């Protein structure tokens, strides 16, 4: 990786940091010079093992990060889940769990982190939405609702927290090849082909593609970018 944005001295929290986009983001921020505190339910690779939706999790994360980092400049809310479930027979527990992890946990973590972000000289909130932050699909009611919510929350944060110098942006990936999605693509080649061909760039995103955008948003170069949902999908949603 090439150093482009110079985040030396910055302190960051990345949730969902043990794999996929979160792992790539933590690695990219470290290359840029940031000190990174990783959080993941798996607790692998030296990250704090915690369910972000558990009662008191947000406060525990902030306390542990403060003890290790001594402050906070960059908050990357990446942890999330996705599952296909048709509306007929869709149970309340699956709905509640998806929104708890994908949306409510983001709200709680930002709220808990706010005093530290207000004390930062370059505070950044970066949430991870999805292309489904802007549309829906069959069988994805809970996921799409949660990701629409993340985008709306992020825009509200940008408006409310802007007077404190805090920027807030939502990164909205399309299909990304990760350890979790790779088996799904292998089991359903037509799904992989659909997303690869839908992008004019004719490929699936890598976690590093998403991490690069996050690194930019964390940097001083993005100091006047706030309140946006940024598609990182190779123009897959730019045409029918």
* Residue 143 is among the residues annotated as catalytic for this protein: yes
Phi and psi, residue 25, nearest 5°: -65, -45
Question: Strand 11-15's sheet: what is its strand order?
Answer: 48-49, 35-40, 11-15, 74-77, 124-128, 167-173, 229-232
DSSP single-letter state for residue 103:
I
Report the half-sphere exposure of 198 (CA within 13 A, side-chain side): 18
Q: Give the single-character DSSP code of 227.
A: S
Alpha-carbon distance values, 53 to 99, 101, 131 (Å): 9, 5, 23
Name the catalytic one among 5, 84, 143, 194.
143
Closest CA to 128 of 5, 239, 206, 16: 16
Tell me, rounded to whole angstroms, the distance of Cα 50 from its chain centroid. Answer: 16
Cα–Cα nearest to 116, from 170, 54, 160, 67: 67
The catalytic site residues sit at 143
């Amino acid at each position: 990786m090439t150093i482009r944005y110079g985040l030396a001295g910055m302190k960051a929290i990345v949730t969902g940091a043990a794999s996929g986009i979160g792992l790539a983001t933590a690695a990219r921020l470290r290359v840029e010079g940031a000190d990174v505190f990783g959080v993941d339910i798996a607790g692998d690779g030296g990250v704090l093992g915690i369910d972000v939706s558990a009662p008191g999790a947000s406060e525990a994360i902030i306390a542990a990060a403060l003890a290790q980092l001594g402050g906070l400049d960059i908050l990357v809310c990446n942890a999330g889940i996705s599952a296909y479930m048709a509306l007929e027979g869709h149970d309340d527990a699956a709905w509640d769990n998806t929104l708890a992890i994908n949306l409510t946990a983001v709200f709680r973590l930002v709220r808990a982190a706010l005093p530290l972000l207000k004390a930062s000289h370059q505070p950044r909130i970066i949430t991870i939405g999805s292309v489904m932050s802007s549309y829906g699909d069959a069988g994805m009611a809970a996921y799409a609702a949660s990701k629409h919510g993340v985008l709306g929350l992020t825009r509200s944060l940008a408006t409310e927290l802007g007077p404190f110098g805090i920027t807030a942006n939502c990164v909205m990936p399309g299909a990304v090849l990760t350890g979790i999605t790779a088996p799904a693509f292998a089991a359903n080649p037509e799904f992989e082909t659909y997303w690869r061909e839908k992008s004019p760039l004719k490929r699936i995103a890598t976690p590093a593609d998403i991490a690069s955008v996050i690194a930019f948003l964390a940097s001083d170069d993005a100091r006047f970018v706030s309140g946006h949902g940024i598609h990182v999908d190779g123009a897959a949603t730019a045409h029918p």
